[in-house]
Amino acid sequence: QQQVKQSPQSLIVQKGGISIINCAYENTAFDYFPWYQQFPGKGPALLIAIRPDVSEKKEGRFTISFNKSAKQFSLHIMDSQPGDSATYFCAALTGNQFYFGTGTSLTVIP
Amino acid sequence: DGGITQSPKYLFRKEGQNVTLSCEQNLNHDAMYWYRQDPGQGLRLIYYSQIVNDFQKGDIAEGYSVSREKKESFPLTVTSAQKNPTAFYLCASRKNRGTYGYTFGSGTRLTVV
C-alpha cells in the first residue's frame, strides 16, 4: 500500500511557467514532509521541507503548500527553468522512517 | 566536506554471484538506509540501521544482506538469491532524532550480465 500518493507521474511545462506537483497521505502520524530533486544518475537532494504546523513555506522559486485537514501537500516551482528538469519526490516522515511518493518527471521546455 | 560516498558507481554481476555495494558517511549520522530505485516505482526500502550492530528489514529485504560494524559504514550485499537485481541503489543517512531529511549518496547502478 502506497503511504504517500504523488501526481502527476510526468509533467511538461514551458519555460517561465508554474510547475505543480501534488502529494496526498493518510497517516496522521507523519510530522515532516520534504521534497527531493533528483537528476539522472544522481542521488536525490533535499529541496525544501515543511512541518505540519505551517501551511506554506517558500524558498526562492520553490514553495510548499500544506493542507493538514485535506492531508495534502504540493510543490510549486515558479518561473520554471530548463535546469529544473528532473524527477521530484515527495516524502513523509514518521518515527525514523520516510515514505516516498513514486516521483514526478518534470521537463521544462525552453 | 561531509557527505555520503557510494562505490562503485557502476557494478556488473554475473548470474549466481554475490556483490557488495559500499556506503560510507562522515556526517556523524546515526541512521543509515538502503533503497532500491526502479523506473516508475520510486524508492523502495531494503534495509535500515539506527545504531551500530543493529539493523532491520525494509519492504524488499529478500535477497539482500547488510552489516553495521561501524557507525560510518553500511555495506549492502546483493546475493544470488535476488533474482532481479538490476537497479539503481541509493544509500542514505540521517540523524536519529528530530525532523531531519535524508542525505543521499550518488548511487550505484548494478547490472546483471
DSSP assignment string, A43-101: --EEEEEE-TT-SEEEETTEEEEEETTTTEEEEEESS--GGG-EEEEEEEEETTEEEE-
**pLDDT confidence of B45, banded at 50, 70, 90?**
very high
Question: Residue A32 has what DSSP assignment?
Answer: B
| pLDDT above 80 for A1 | no
Q: Where is mean pLDDT largest: A56-65, A90-99, B12-21, B97-106?
A: A56-65
Distance of residue A24 Cα from the nearest chain B Cα, in angstroms: 15
Contact residues, chain A, for B40 at CB < 8 Å? 9, 102-103
Neighbours of A99 (CB within 10 A): 19
Q: Which position has the grid cell 514551458?
A: A14
Q: Which grid coordinates belong to A34?
A: 520534504
Q: Which of A36, A42, A38 is nearest to A23 (CA)?
A: A36
Least confident of B40-44, B48-52, B84-88: B40-44
Residue B24: partners with Cβ closer than 8 Å, 6 or more residues away: B4, B5, B72, B73
| pLDDT above 80 for A87 | yes
> What is the rounded distance in angstroms from the CA atom of residue A74 to the CA atom of residue A23?
6
Question: What is the average pLDDT across B24-47?
Answer: 92
Whether A101 sits inside 8 A of B42 (CB atoms) is yes
Strands B10-13, B108-112: parallel, antiparallel or unpaired by DSSP? parallel
Per-residue pLDDT of A22-61, as tens digits, reads: 999 999 999 999 999 999 989 999 999 999 999 999 999 9
Question: Residue A41 has what DSSP assignment?
Answer: T
Calculate the average pLDDT of chain B. Answer: 92
Question: What is the average pLDDT across A78-90?
Answer: 97
Element (H, E) at A25: strand A19-25
Distances in whole angstroms, Cα of residue B11 to Cα of each of B19, B35, B68, B90: 8, 16, 22, 13
Q: Which grid coordinates belong to A41?
A: 544518475
Percent of chain B with pLDDT over 90: 75
Q: Which of A15, A36, A53 is nearest to A87 (CA)?
A: A36
| pLDDT above 90 for A94 | no
Cβ–Cβ under 8 Å, residues B99 and B87: no
B92 Cα distance to chain centroid? 7
| pLDDT above 90 for B113 | no
Calculate the average pLDDT of chain A. Answer: 95
Whether B42 sits inside 8 A of A103 (CB atoms) is yes
pLDDT score, position A2: 75
pLDDT score, position B99: 65
pLDDT score, position B1: 61
Amino acid identity for residue A19 in this structure: S
**pLDDT confidence of B77, banded at 50, 70, 90?**
very high
Whether B31 sits inside 8 A of A93 (CB atoms) is no
User: Does B103 contact A at CB distance below 8 Å?
Assistant: yes
